Amino acid sequence: MMNKKAIKKEYYFFIFLFIQALLWTQLKSIKPDMSVLPDLPTEMSIKAASFGDEQFYFRTLAFQLQNAGDTFGRTTPLKDYDYNKLYKWFLLLDSLDSKSNFVPSMAAYYYSNTQNTPDIRYIVDYLDQHSDKDPAAKWWWYSQAIYNAKHKLDDKKRALEIAYKLAAAPNPEMPIWARQMPAFILEDLGEKEQALIIARDIIENVDDISDGELNFMHYFIKERLEKMQSEEPVR
Amino acid sequence: MNTTIKYIFLTAIRDWLFIGLSGAILLAVGISFFLGGTALVEQGQMIVVYATGAARVILVIGLIVFVCFHVRRSFENREVEVILTKPVSRSSFVFSYWAGFAMLAVIVVIPLTILVFLMMDVNFFGMLIWSLSLIFESLIVVAFALACSLMLQSAVSSVMVSFGFYFIARMMGFFTAIIDKPAILRDVSWAWVMENVLTATSIVLPRLDLFGNSKWLVYGVGSDANLWLWDSLPVFVVQSIVYVPLLLLMAIFDFKRRQF
């Protein structure tokens, strides 16, 4: 038979069980952070948290950003992302490693597919800024910025700005279409004379042009000249 | 000295140090392959960085725990007293213990390097430098853990202090950046105190943030201006040549005054 002390101890157990249940009513509303994008740390704090191996921390954060919004069994449409915050994340990750193509790939091939078209300007700005750090090695991301500005954002003037940078990238291995890019966009803008000048300039100044490219450029120049002549007012 | 080194090697086998470290590192490599494989692009680089970063931390934690508990157990079992009854000076006792532990680190790093080279796409020269710096990093960590466990009475405190030392030393680059940019501390009350504390800390602690950088494995060492001192010597070699004797002398100084 239980004595009185043992019964008292059992009471204490039930009292604490009851208190725990009461505490649950208060704690159940505290949920893990389910925001789509994690809050942006400062540049100094990520330097501290990297413990001297910035590459390791860069890969960890980049991976986190790749999966942001699609964790805990949920999927988030791209239109619900805060692109201004995303843009700042991209730049922050570039401060850890601007050589890697991980972040620009993520921006150009994944995040640029947002349903909210005005957000694409953040992608264009980021790709432009990323390429500015090393135009010779990063010219491809200029071309992606141009594609997004021209075809998705429909901002041809912005595309032209970047196209000039792409054409001037000091990389002899760069394909000829990259040098021709301003001509194509000027053509779209109706600036046929300017497009013609650029095409002629490439023929005169670039040495290593294949026969096929040369034929195309001669055709391009000839066609523009004919159009310009036909459009000229009759005096 | 050879006997002590052999003894430490045997105890490492007895305590399953090599099996434990190898198992943990292989597990980390496996997880790295899984995580890296899910990356959008640059899967190879992702795998290399995750695997080597995790391996470095596992190696350091394993060595610290092993050294601290091994030394404390040697004191408790009176093995240290038995060794000291032989014609062994206290200085050579400390040095041979460190050499034994250092050898354990080398034994783990060499197969790890071969594994990284065979299984991952890495920059070859960068990998050699990374492996060498990991060995030197282990030498410093082992010397600190040994000094702590000779000076402190508890293995747990030695482990904790060694972990603290390691993580603060890996943050030294950040601390020196703060000292150089006092504007960061502008909003902190008593900023001058903080600045002086950081300066004092950075004088006495090594720059472990200049060791074992996984960037070298991905991009090579060509672009890393911080790697070389006087344009010819790897900074981690110079740092280790200075800091390991400092720690061993500190341990010898304390150990010589100990009464048994």
Q: Confirm or reject contact between B170 and chain A (CB < 8 A).
A: yes
**Once rounded to an integer, what is the mean pLDDT over residues A157-165?**
96
Residue A139: the pLDDT is: 96
Chain B partners of A100 at a C-beta cutoff of 8 Å?
Answer: 42, 45, 218
Mean confidence (pLDDT) of chain B: 91
Does B47 contact A at CB distance below 8 Å? Answer: no
The whole-number pLDDT of residue B197 equals 87
Mean pLDDT of A75-95: 95
| Percent with pLDDT over 70 in chain B | 97
Contact criterion met (CB < 8 Å) for B49 and A59: yes
Predicted confidence (pLDDT) per residue in A104-145, tens digit: 999 999 999 999 999 999 999 999 999 999 999 999 999 999
pLDDT at B185 over 70: no
Q: Is residue A233 pLDDT above 70, yes or no? A: no
Query: For B210, which residue in chain A has the nearest alpha carbon?
Result: A52
Q: Which of A63-67, A70-74, A191-195, B36-40 has the lowest mean pLDDT?
A: A191-195
More confident residue, A202 or B27: B27
pLDDT of residue A234: 54
Q: Which of A53, A102, A106 sits opposite B53 (nearest CB)?
A: A53
Q: Are B144 and B131 spatial neighbours (Cβ–Cβ below 8 Å)? A: no
A68: chain B residues, CB-CB within 8 Å: none
Residues B217-245: what's their mean pLDDT? Answer: 88
Q: pLDDT band for position B25 (50/70/90)? A: very high
More confident residue, A192 or B187: A192
Helices (H), chain B: 2-14, 17-37, 43-76, 79-85, 90-119, 124-151, 155-170, 172-180, 191-204, 215-219, 235-256
Q: Which of A55, A101, A106 has the CB atom closest to B213's CB atom?
A: A55
What residues of B are in contact with residue A54 (Cβ under 8 Å)? Answer: 213, 215
pLDDT at residue A235 is higher than 60: no
Residue range B195-224: average pLDDT?
90
Residue A55 in this model has a pLDDT that exceeds 90: yes
Q: A31 to chain B, minimum CA–CA distance in Å?
A: 26
The residues, any chain, with a CB within 8 Å of residue A105's CB and separated by 6 or more, are B40, B41, B42
CB contact under 8 A, A51 and B35: no
Chain A residues touching B223 at Cβ < 8 A: 99
Strands B228-229 and B233-234: antiparallel
**Residue B229, SS3?**
strand
Q: Taking CB atoms and an 8 Å cutoff, what residues of chain A touch B53? A: 53, 55-56
Mean pLDDT of B84-88: 84
- Report the residue of chain B nearest A96, measured CA to CA: B215
Out of A47, A51, A101, whose CB is closest to B42? Answer: A101
Judged on CB neighbours under 10 Å (0-12, 13-18, 19+), B223 is: exposed
pTM: 0.83
- Statement: residue B88 has pLDDT above 90: no
- B54-70 burial, b at 16+ Cβ within 10 Å, e below that, comes to bbbbbbbbbbbbbbbbb
Candidates A52, A55, A105; nearest CB to B170 = A52
Give percent above pLDDT 90 in chain A: 56
Within its chain, how far is the Cα of A197 from the centroid?
32
Cβ B53–A101 below 8 Å, yes or no?
no
pLDDT at A229 over 80: no
Q: Which residues of A touch B208 (CB under 8 A)?
A: 52
Mean pLDDT across the stretch B91-117? 93
